[in-house]
Amino acid sequence: MNLGDFREDYQRDALQREGLATDPLAQFETWFRQAAGEKEQSRWRKIGIALYKLWGAICNHRPADCNAMTLATADKDGKPSARTVLLKCVDQRGFIFFTNYDSRKGRELAENGRAALTFFWSELERQVCVAGPVVKLPVAEAEAYFKSRPRGSRIGAWASQQSEAIPDRAVLEAKWRELETKFPGEIPLPPNWGGFILQPERIEFWQGRPSRLHDRFCYTRQADGAWQIERLSP
Protein backbone atom coordinates (compact mmCIF):
# COMPACT_ATOMS: atom_id res chain seq x y z
CA MET A 1 0.00 0.00 0.00
CA ASN A 2 1.60 3.25 -1.18
CA LEU A 3 0.67 6.24 0.98
CA GLY A 4 3.04 8.70 -0.69
CA ASP A 5 0.15 10.81 -2.01
CA PHE A 6 -1.49 11.21 1.40
CA ARG A 7 -0.52 14.83 2.02
CA GLU A 8 -2.00 17.77 3.85
CA ASP A 9 -0.84 21.37 3.47
CA TYR A 10 -1.52 23.01 6.84
CA GLN A 11 -2.91 26.54 6.58
CA ARG A 12 -5.26 27.02 9.52
CA ASP A 13 -3.13 29.07 11.93
CA ALA A 14 0.32 30.33 12.97
CA LEU A 15 2.26 30.27 16.24
CA GLN A 16 4.40 33.27 17.21
CA ARG A 17 6.77 33.71 20.15
CA GLU A 18 4.98 36.84 21.39
CA GLY A 19 1.71 34.92 21.56
CA LEU A 20 3.02 32.21 23.88
CA ALA A 21 2.32 32.08 27.60
CA THR A 22 5.40 32.09 29.83
CA ASP A 23 4.16 28.90 31.53
CA PRO A 24 3.68 25.90 29.19
CA LEU A 25 0.84 24.52 31.33
CA ALA A 26 -1.04 27.77 30.80
CA GLN A 27 -0.32 27.53 27.08
CA PHE A 28 -1.54 23.92 27.08
CA GLU A 29 -4.75 24.93 28.84
CA THR A 30 -5.40 27.59 26.18
CA TRP A 31 -4.89 25.13 23.35
CA PHE A 32 -6.91 22.43 25.11
CA ARG A 33 -9.87 24.77 25.60
CA GLN A 34 -9.71 25.63 21.91
CA ALA A 35 -9.58 21.91 21.00
CA ALA A 36 -12.61 21.35 23.24
CA GLY A 37 -14.43 24.26 21.57
CA GLU A 38 -14.54 26.30 24.78
CA LYS A 39 -12.28 29.20 23.80
CA GLU A 40 -13.52 32.03 21.62
CA GLN A 41 -12.24 31.52 18.08
CA SER A 42 -12.28 33.47 14.85
CA ARG A 43 -15.42 33.31 12.72
CA TRP A 44 -13.62 31.45 9.92
CA ARG A 45 -12.07 28.92 12.29
CA LYS A 46 -15.49 28.22 13.81
CA ILE A 47 -16.95 27.72 10.34
CA GLY A 48 -14.08 25.43 9.37
CA ILE A 49 -14.40 23.28 12.48
CA ALA A 50 -18.20 23.14 12.11
CA LEU A 51 -17.86 21.94 8.51
CA TYR A 52 -15.26 19.35 9.56
CA LYS A 53 -17.58 18.00 12.26
CA LEU A 54 -20.53 18.01 9.86
CA TRP A 55 -18.53 15.99 7.35
CA GLY A 56 -17.64 13.54 10.12
CA ALA A 57 -21.29 13.18 11.11
CA ILE A 58 -22.38 12.63 7.50
CA CYS A 59 -19.70 9.98 7.05
CA ASN A 60 -20.51 8.50 10.46
CA HIS A 61 -17.01 9.38 11.67
CA ARG A 62 -16.67 10.60 15.24
CA PRO A 63 -13.55 12.68 15.95
CA ALA A 64 -11.27 11.41 18.69
CA ASP A 65 -11.80 12.82 22.17
CA CYS A 66 -9.78 16.00 22.63
CA ASN A 67 -8.28 14.58 25.84
CA ALA A 68 -6.99 11.47 24.06
CA MET A 69 -3.19 11.24 24.15
CA THR A 70 -0.54 8.78 23.07
CA LEU A 71 1.42 7.57 26.09
CA ALA A 72 4.88 6.15 25.37
CA THR A 73 6.73 4.14 28.01
CA ALA A 74 9.77 1.85 28.06
CA ASP A 75 10.83 -1.10 30.19
CA LYS A 76 14.09 -1.38 32.12
CA ASP A 77 15.90 -2.45 28.95
CA GLY A 78 14.63 0.55 26.99
CA LYS A 79 12.15 -1.46 24.90
CA PRO A 80 9.35 1.03 24.08
CA SER A 81 5.59 0.65 23.85
CA ALA A 82 2.78 3.14 23.20
CA ARG A 83 -0.98 3.33 23.50
CA THR A 84 -3.78 5.90 23.63
CA VAL A 85 -5.10 6.88 27.07
CA LEU A 86 -7.26 9.75 28.32
CA LEU A 87 -5.97 12.81 30.15
CA LYS A 88 -8.12 13.31 33.25
CA CYS A 89 -6.54 16.38 34.82
CA VAL A 90 -3.71 18.85 34.28
CA ASP A 91 -2.46 21.17 37.01
CA GLN A 92 0.85 22.63 38.15
CA ARG A 93 2.03 19.15 39.13
CA GLY A 94 1.62 17.88 35.57
CA PHE A 95 -0.56 15.61 33.43
CA ILE A 96 -2.72 13.05 35.24
CA PHE A 97 -4.08 9.75 33.91
CA PHE A 98 -5.38 6.53 35.48
CA THR A 99 -4.69 2.86 34.88
CA ASN A 100 -4.22 -0.61 36.34
CA TYR A 101 -0.78 -0.62 37.97
CA ASP A 102 -0.30 -4.25 36.89
CA SER A 103 -0.87 -3.41 33.21
CA ARG A 104 2.00 -3.28 30.74
CA LYS A 105 2.30 0.49 31.07
CA GLY A 106 2.06 0.26 34.84
CA ARG A 107 4.84 -2.32 35.00
CA GLU A 108 7.03 -0.34 32.62
CA LEU A 109 6.56 2.85 34.61
CA ALA A 110 7.56 0.95 37.75
CA GLU A 111 10.76 -0.19 36.00
CA ASN A 112 11.50 3.04 34.14
CA GLY A 113 9.77 6.05 35.65
CA ARG A 114 9.92 8.31 32.60
CA ALA A 115 7.36 8.71 29.82
CA ALA A 116 6.19 10.88 26.94
CA LEU A 117 2.76 12.09 25.83
CA THR A 118 1.52 13.33 22.46
CA PHE A 119 -1.74 15.16 21.78
CA PHE A 120 -2.86 15.63 18.15
CA TRP A 121 -5.82 17.86 17.34
CA SER A 122 -6.24 17.40 13.61
CA GLU A 123 -8.96 20.00 13.01
CA LEU A 124 -6.73 22.67 14.59
CA GLU A 125 -3.59 21.28 12.89
CA ARG A 126 -1.86 21.22 16.27
CA GLN A 127 0.29 18.84 18.26
CA VAL A 128 1.68 18.96 21.81
CA CYS A 129 4.52 16.68 22.94
CA VAL A 130 5.35 16.27 26.64
CA ALA A 131 8.14 14.35 28.37
CA GLY A 132 9.32 13.90 31.94
CA PRO A 133 9.37 11.68 35.03
CA VAL A 134 6.21 9.96 36.26
CA VAL A 135 5.06 9.44 39.85
CA LYS A 136 1.98 7.85 41.35
CA LEU A 137 -0.99 10.02 42.28
CA PRO A 138 -1.85 10.04 46.02
CA VAL A 139 -4.31 7.26 46.87
CA ALA A 140 -6.92 9.68 48.23
CA GLU A 141 -7.07 11.51 44.88
CA ALA A 142 -7.24 8.25 42.95
CA GLU A 143 -10.08 7.05 45.18
CA ALA A 144 -12.01 10.29 44.71
CA TYR A 145 -11.76 9.95 40.93
CA PHE A 146 -12.62 6.24 41.05
CA LYS A 147 -15.85 7.01 42.89
CA SER A 148 -16.83 9.47 40.15
CA ARG A 149 -16.69 6.80 37.44
CA PRO A 150 -19.83 4.99 36.22
CA ARG A 151 -20.65 1.87 38.22
CA GLY A 152 -19.96 -0.43 35.26
CA SER A 153 -16.49 1.05 34.78
CA ARG A 154 -15.68 0.59 38.47
CA ILE A 155 -16.66 -3.07 38.27
CA GLY A 156 -14.63 -3.36 35.06
CA ALA A 157 -11.52 -2.11 36.86
CA TRP A 158 -11.85 -5.10 39.23
CA ALA A 159 -12.76 -7.58 36.49
CA SER A 160 -9.92 -6.84 34.08
CA GLN A 161 -6.42 -8.18 34.63
CA GLN A 162 -5.24 -5.56 32.18
CA SER A 163 -2.70 -6.70 29.55
CA GLU A 164 -2.97 -10.37 30.61
CA ALA A 165 -3.96 -13.01 28.05
CA ILE A 166 -7.47 -14.50 28.44
CA PRO A 167 -9.07 -17.42 26.51
CA ASP A 168 -12.11 -15.47 25.29
CA ARG A 169 -14.48 -12.58 26.05
CA ALA A 170 -16.89 -14.87 27.88
CA VAL A 171 -14.38 -15.24 30.72
CA LEU A 172 -14.18 -11.47 31.12
CA GLU A 173 -17.95 -11.01 31.05
CA ALA A 174 -18.46 -13.82 33.56
CA LYS A 175 -15.97 -12.19 35.92
CA TRP A 176 -17.77 -8.85 35.55
CA ARG A 177 -21.13 -10.45 36.45
CA GLU A 178 -19.55 -12.20 39.44
CA LEU A 179 -18.20 -8.90 40.75
CA GLU A 180 -21.49 -7.12 40.09
CA THR A 181 -23.05 -9.57 42.53
CA LYS A 182 -20.15 -9.29 44.98
CA PHE A 183 -20.42 -5.48 45.13
CA PRO A 184 -24.16 -4.69 45.29
CA GLY A 185 -23.48 -1.32 46.91
CA GLU A 186 -20.25 0.65 47.28
CA ILE A 187 -17.36 -0.52 45.09
CA PRO A 188 -13.96 -0.06 46.75
CA LEU A 189 -10.85 1.16 44.96
CA PRO A 190 -8.89 -1.85 43.63
CA PRO A 191 -5.48 -2.08 45.33
CA ASN A 192 -3.74 -2.22 41.94
CA TRP A 193 -5.56 0.71 40.31
CA GLY A 194 -4.76 4.41 40.50
CA GLY A 195 -3.30 7.46 38.85
CA PHE A 196 0.01 8.72 37.54
CA ILE A 197 1.33 12.27 37.24
CA LEU A 198 3.71 12.99 34.38
CA GLN A 199 5.81 15.90 35.64
CA PRO A 200 6.84 17.78 32.49
CA GLU A 201 10.46 18.69 31.89
CA ARG A 202 9.89 19.45 28.23
CA ILE A 203 6.73 20.55 26.38
CA GLU A 204 6.67 21.26 22.65
CA PHE A 205 3.86 23.06 20.81
CA TRP A 206 3.57 22.38 17.07
CA GLN A 207 1.37 24.33 14.69
CA GLY A 208 1.05 23.09 11.12
CA ARG A 209 2.01 25.65 8.45
CA PRO A 210 2.07 25.66 4.63
CA SER A 211 4.93 24.01 2.70
CA ARG A 212 5.92 22.04 5.82
CA LEU A 213 7.44 25.18 7.40
CA HIS A 214 5.68 24.40 10.66
CA ASP A 215 5.91 26.52 13.82
CA ARG A 216 7.52 24.67 16.73
CA PHE A 217 8.25 26.08 20.18
CA CYS A 218 9.83 24.07 22.96
CA TYR A 219 9.63 24.83 26.70
CA THR A 220 12.46 23.23 28.74
CA ARG A 221 12.42 23.35 32.54
CA GLN A 222 15.59 24.84 34.02
CA ALA A 223 17.31 23.96 37.30
CA ASP A 224 15.63 26.89 39.06
CA GLY A 225 12.18 25.81 37.87
CA ALA A 226 11.90 28.51 35.19
CA TRP A 227 11.03 27.63 31.60
CA GLN A 228 13.33 28.31 28.64
CA ILE A 229 11.42 28.85 25.37
CA GLU A 230 13.08 28.17 22.01
CA ARG A 231 11.80 28.09 18.46
CA LEU A 232 12.72 24.82 16.73
CA SER A 233 13.27 24.21 13.05
CA PRO A 234 10.45 22.17 11.53
24 three-state secondary structure = helix
CA dihedral sign, ordered 181, 187, 190, 194: positive
DSSP assigned state of 18: G
Give the DSSP H/E element, type plus range, for residue 151: helix 151-159
**Cβ atoms of 100 and 160 closer than 8 Å:** yes
Taking residue 160's Cβ as centre, other Cβ atoms within 10 Å add up to 18
**Cβ atoms of 121 and 35 closer than 8 Å:** yes
**Cβ atoms of 200 and 132 closer than 8 Å:** yes
Q: Write down the catalytic residue from 17, 151, 177, 212.
A: 212
**Cβ atoms of 69 and 119 closer than 8 Å:** yes
Known catalytic residue at 212: yes
Can you name the residues that pair with 202 across neighbouring β-strands? 131, 220
Q: Given its phi and psi angles, is residue 205 left (phi above 0), alpha (psi -120 to 50 degrees) or beta? A: beta
**What's the burial of 225, exposed, middle or buried (CB within 10 Å: 0-12/13-18/19+)?**
exposed
* Catalytic center residues: 212
